[in-house]
Structure 1
Amino acid sequence: MPLLPITLTVFLHEDLKDQNLNLLCSHYFDWLEDHITVISGRDMNTEFIKPSDAPGISSIDYKTEDLQHLLKKFNAEVVLYVKNTNGSFENAIHKYMLLTRDIINETTLGVAASPGAFAVASITDYFTAAHELGHMLGASHEDSGDVTTYHGPVKSLMHATAGDVGARFSQINEDNIRRYLGQYD
């Protein structure tokens, strides 16, 4: 029996309505899908929802200090969206992300339920969306460590501070992701 696939639904905030969808996909998500598939052995698919198709979500005021309130609001809007579009939470592991142009506040590029189904991520940093998806899949800052890349050792995706970051999760966080996804087998 094949493993349940992972579906990441990315809602584009209205402040990204002028962005090229193909470029957003190729810069922030194509490589991430491949990486998660290699780690988990599961297919991962990213679907994008344009601002005009989810106005209640795309207009969320995400600039805040109250991160828990932001996640609760996003969660509630996604539940309404799924209900109103006759969507389903079955036959896949569903994750939902609001992708924004700007940071949430002076110190926060993104936030996610850890582990969980909801995240908000800014495109101001190349790796924020991947970092927040890592949280949703059970990866943690504490297990971030360093990884070796073609260019030498760098911080892994889950590192909480700025600096050179590689497009990989640490071995411990890869194990955390597999352990989290194992509950769906």
Structure 2
Amino acid sequence: MQILYTLFTTLLFTSIINQTASATVVKDETPWPIAQPETPSMRSSIPVEKRPIFVFAFVHDDVPEDKIPSLYPDHFAPVIRELRTTTGRDVSVIFVRNTPPYTNYSYKGETQASYDGWRDLGTAYRDAKNLPTGRTTKFMLLTNDGMTNNVFGLAGGGQQFALAALSHKQLVGHELGHMLDAQHELAEVRYNGWWCETFMAAKVNTLLSNCYVYTDPNRERIRSYLRDAP
């Protein structure tokens, strides 16, 4: 039986090679400005000791209307549960729709340019709305398609900005993890009756299920990243 199990595992992971889509960390060395205090509208209704994590999720105009009801339960709820447990902070998602030039941004193309353009737009939105510049406020563009044929997510490591396609349910958690300093190298494939990959797996393997968690080393990186944040 062990020989058959090993053979099956080898064949499975060989077949996965052509069943993957990538998410990429892009270069962003923008220095963190001095954090601004939150505005009254940014305060959570849930009493917590530390500032919540706020995610401004811009829904691109190319996302079909029939996908909208599944955005929160399928793409955000699992990572919110994980982050609340990991950080002890509340997590709030603010969806932004039908708001050009943000929601009709031309995101397809070379990855660095795609990220840089979104970072510039996100910065403009943040500054126009007088939103915080600190580590607990993030700006993510949700797209229907990938940035290229095989890149379905972009983020600046430890920064405020990311793009995530809705083609795979773990990509929102993956890119949010990058913005909180989690790393590909600390991801795992686990087995619990079937194989699943943790949020930070570098490639989405469509033959595997989702663990919907960060590994303990990535959890520690996220906690360390937020340790000095108000």
TM-score for both structures, normalised by structure 1: 0.88
- Matched with 1:180 is 225
Match for residue 177 of structure 2 among 134, 140, 143: 134
Relative contact order higher in (CA < 8 Å, ≥ 6 apart): 2
One-letter amino acid of the structure 2 residue matched with residue 166 of structure 1: C
Say which SS state the counterpart of residue 102 (structure 2) adopts: helix
Say which SS state the counterpart of residue 65 (structure 2) adopts: coil
- Matched with 1:154 is 196
**Residue pair 1:146, 1:156 contacting (<8 A) in 2 also:** yes
Match for residue 123 of structure 1 among 143, 166, 170: 166
Structure 1 residue runs of 4+, over 4 Å off? none
Question: What is the correspondence of 1:62-141 to structure 2 with a 5 Å cutoff?
Answer: 62-65=107-110, 67-84=111-128, 86-89=129-132, 93-141=136-184
Unaligned runs of 5+ residues in structure 1 are: none
Say which SS state the counterpart of residue 80 (structure 2) adopts: helix
**Rg larger in structure:** 2
TM-score for both structures, normalised by structure 2: 0.72
How many percent of aligned residue pairs carry the same amino acid?
25
The structural deviation recorded for 1:82 is 2.8
**Residue pair 1:4, 1:91 contacting (<8 A) in 2 also:** no
Calculate the aligned-residue CA RMSD, in Å.
Answer: 2.0
One-letter amino acid of the structure 2 residue matched with residue 175 of structure 1: E
CA distance in 1 between partners of 2:80 and 2:171 (Å): 14
- Matched with 2:215 is 170
Count the aligned residue pairs: 180
**Residue pair 2:170, 2:212 contacting (<8 A) in 1 also:** yes
Say which SS state the counterpart of residue 180 (structure 1) adopts: helix
Deviations 1:17-55 (A, max 9, x none): 5245332111111221111110110111111001x2x20
